[in-house]
Amino acid sequence: CQRADSLDLANKHDSRWPRQNSLSMKEWDIPYDELKLFEVIGTGRFGTVYRGSWHGAVAVKVLHVLSDDCVPLDTFKHEVATFRKTRHENLVLFMGACMKPPRLAIVTSLCKGMTLYTHIHLRKDKFTANKSVIVAQQISQGMGYLHARGIIHKDLKTKNIFLENGKVVITDFGLFSVTKLCFGNKLVQSLRGDSLGIPAGWLCYLAPELCRALTPHASLHLPFSKATDVYAFGTVWYELLCGEYPFKSQPPEAVIWQVGKGVKQSLANMQASRDIKDILMLCWSYRSSERPDFPHLLTTLQKLPRKRLARSPSHPVHLSRSADS
């Protein structure tokens, strides 16, 4: 679109975008024509992910850019500039991006395993407490690295965590603000409907301060922070241990109201040691300042006494086949 072009032109002269940065950004610019796209792996709220080829197997997330949208290219480029700083074994490998509107796409390594979401919610695989701890430690490591680099994930959830032969790979970090800009109007429209058309399985990751910001007329400038990532991690920890979402089967309005007021999912029926429940309660703290950071979580997880992790064989978490080992 015309405004996107003029934005692009403006960016070339943008003082916030130093020349040196523009030059190094070119290294990450993948011409769309160089990509081979095969089958669709899946479609999310903001883009369609294809299995692709670019010097080998890759995943290509083509962002949904509505034709009448004018994509703020500098926002996208800033996100891309952030991704290239990430090198960690628990993070998906960022390979580059197509940065010429309307074709905006993110190219990453292709994850071979299944997501934690598939394991937990579709296959109903059971994670023993020990395995849950190992997975949680790896998530904490990857997230601790992101935060140390000043990157907030903004969309940490089991759908964005792959398990590849026992190794955790986190995807989709930092993209929320870009994707919301491309597709934001639709998301806002869905919030304006008669009932809140919020994607299933998203709300339970939102910290109280995010739930309170979710007004129907908000432009979705949600106050994401490192602490909101920690809250989301708490929900992942709960799913690993219980095999379901917190506030399961409750309507979105009820979840928003309760979380916004500081009500937490009850742990009364959860058979787990105090230490395990304490991690949940800390991550789900109403006040963001009371939530631990990821290095602290990692230390806590490492200190969990092994014998106290063993649970009664009557606990459903341990009964059936275990997840990816």
Reading the block at residue 285, the tokens are: 């703290």
Strand 114-115 with 103-109, pairing: unpaired
Question: Considering beta carbons, is residue 3 or 87 the nearer one to ligand ATP?
Answer: 87
Question: Going by C-beta distance under 8 Å and a sequence separation of 6 or more, which residues neighbour residue 275?
Answer: 300, 304, 305, 308
Round to whole Å and give the CA distance between 170 and 153. 10
Phi, psi of 301 (to 5 degrees): -65, -40
Identify the three-state secondary structure at position 147. Answer: helix
170-194: b or e for each residue (b if 16 or more CB lie within 10 Å)?
A: bbbbbbbbbbbbbbbeebeeebeee
Minimum distance between the CB of residue 123 and ligand ATP, rounded to whole angstroms? 14
* Active-site residue, from 69, 125, 155, 324: 155
Angle at the Cα of 304 from the Cα atoms of 300 and 310, rounded to 5 degrees: 150
Strand 94-100 with 47-53, pairing: unpaired
Minimum distance between the CB of residue 83 and ligand ATP, rounded to whole angstroms? 12
- The yes-or-no answer on residue 69 being catalytic is no
Residues that bind ligand ATP (CB under 6 A): 41-42, 44-47, 49, 59, 61, 92, 108, 110-111, 115, 155, 159-160, 171-172, 199
Minimum distance between the CB of residue 14 and ligand ATP, rounded to whole angstroms? 29
Question: Considering beta carbons, is residue 199 or 316 the nearer one to ligand ATP?
Answer: 199
Question: Considering beta carbons, is residue 94 or 238 the nearer one to ligand ATP?
Answer: 94
Question: Considering beta carbons, is residue 46 or 127 the nearer one to ligand ATP?
Answer: 46
Q: Where in the sequence numbering do the catalytic residues fall?
A: 155
